[in-house]
Amino acid sequence: MILRYSPEALSDLAAIKKYIEEDLGSPIAAENIVTNITASCSLLKEQPRLGMELSKLIGRETDYRYLISRKYVIFYRIEGSSISIYRIIDTRTDYIRNIGFIDT
């Protein structure tokens, strides 16, 4: 499977790293967390159904799935022979209400 990141997911990773580096003053922790998130994403190449079906969480049909990586939730879809990572959001936020990428 091929792993792809949307521009939003890449922006999410950059924002996570920047926040931990600059606001929390911990560049080593920032690097470790981003490495952990991307390692979790890489697991999906071999085990694409590792995450849970998002439809069960939100109560409506969607082909998106999600995977928790420490304090972050990774939203993705299986698209043929690829895995597309759409967003990476802090679980401490109201991420369900703010999932704007899901088709209604």
Task: Measure the CA dihedral 64/73/1/39, to 10°.
Answer: 180
Question: How do residues 11-30 score in pLDDT, each as one tens digit?
Answer: 999 999 999 999 999 999 99
Helix ranges (H only) for 23-96 are: 27-46, 54-58
Question: How do residues 53-71 score in pLDDT, each as one tens digit?
Answer: 998 888 888 999 999 999 9
CATH says 2-90 is which class? alpha beta
> With the C-alpha atoms ordered 3, 34, 6, 53, is the resulting torsion angle positive or negative?
positive
Q: Other C-beta atoms within 10 Å of 97: how many?
A: 8
Question: How do residues 40-50 score in pLDDT, each as one tens digit?
Answer: 999 999 999 99
